[in-house]
Amino acid sequence: MKITRRFTTAGQSPYATIPFRRATSEIKNPDGSVVFRLEGFDVPEHFSQVAADILAQKYFRKAGVATRLKKFEESTVPSWLWRHVPDEAALASLPAKERTGGENDGRQVFDRLAGTWTYWGWKGGYFTSEDDAQAFFDEMRYMLAMQMAAPNSPQWFNTGLHWAYGIDGPGQGHMYVDYKTGELTSSSSAYEHPQPHACFIQSVADDLVGNGGIMDLWVREARLFKYGSGTGSNFSSLRGADEKLSGGGRSSGLMSFLKIGDRAAGAIKSGGTTRRAAKMVVVDVDHPDIEEYITWKVREEQKVAALVTGSKICQKRLKAVMKACVNCEAEGDACYDAAKNPKLKIAIREAKRDGVPTNYILRVVQFAKQGYTDMAFDTYDTDWDSEAYLTVAGQNSNNSVRVTDDFLRSVDADADWNLTARLGGKVTKTLKAKDLWEQIGYAAWASADPGIQFHTTINDWHTCPQSGQIRASNPCSEYMFLDDTACNLASLNLLRFRRDDKSFDIEAYEHACRLWTIVLEISVMMAQFPSKEIAELSYRYRTLGIGFANIGGLLMSAGIPYDSDEGRAICGAISAIMTGVAYATSAEMAKELGPFPGYAPNANDMLRVMRNHRRAAYGQPSGYEKLSVAPVPLDHASTAMTSACRRRQARMGPRSWSGPGSRLPQRAGDCGGADRHHRPRDGLRHHRHRA
List residues with catalytic annotation: 474, 476, 478
Query: Cα separation of 665 and 654, whole Å?
Result: 9
Residue 156, classed as helix, strand or coil, is helix
Query: Cα separation of 118 and 107, whole Å?
Result: 16
**DSSP symbol at 13:** -
Q: Closest by alpha carbon to 60, among 106, 95, 115?
A: 106
398-403 vs 451-454, strand pairing mode: parallel
Query: Cα separation of 54 and 59, whole Å?
Result: 7
The CA radius of gyration of the chain, in Å to the nearest whole number, is: 29
Q: Which runs of consecutive H residues, i.e. helices, occur in 336-427?
A: 342-353, 358-369, 387-391, 405-412
678 with 587: CB under 8 angstroms? no
Question: Could you tell me the sign of the dihedral formed by the alpha carbons of 382, 385, 388, 393, in that order?
Answer: positive
**DSSP symbol at 237:** T
Roughly what angle, to the nearest 10 degrees, separates helices 433-447 and 405-412? 100
Residue 666, classed as helix, strand or coil, is helix
134 with 80: CB under 8 angstroms? yes
Q: Closest by alpha carbon to 505, among 469, 563, 554?
A: 554
| Euclidean distance between the first and the last CA atom of the chain, given in angstroms as a whole number | 31
Residue 33, classed as helix, strand or coil, is coil
Extract the runs of DSSP E, i.e. beta strands, from 11-146: 20-28, 34-44, 65-66, 69-71, 84-86, 100-101
162 with 191: CB under 8 angstroms? yes
Query: Cα separation of 516 and 512, whole Å?
Result: 6
Query: Cα separation of 346 and 119, whole Å?
Result: 77
Q: How far is CA 97 from CA 66, 93, 94, 611, in A?
A: 11, 12, 8, 61
366 with 246: CB under 8 angstroms? no
Residue 170, classed as helix, strand or coil, is strand
Query: Cα separation of 119 and 133, whole Å?
Result: 9
Q: Which amino acid is at 24?
A: T
DSSP run (H or E) holding 402: strand 398-403
Work out the widest C-alpha separation in the chain, in whole angstroms.
102
Query: Cα separation of 369 and 499, whole Å?
Result: 76
275-276 vs 269-270, strand pairing mode: antiparallel
Q: Closest by alpha carbon to 656, among 585, 570, 606, 573?
A: 585
- Say how many C-beta atoms besides its own lie within 10 A of residue 643's C-beta: 10
Query: Cα separation of 216 and 234, whole Å?
Result: 15
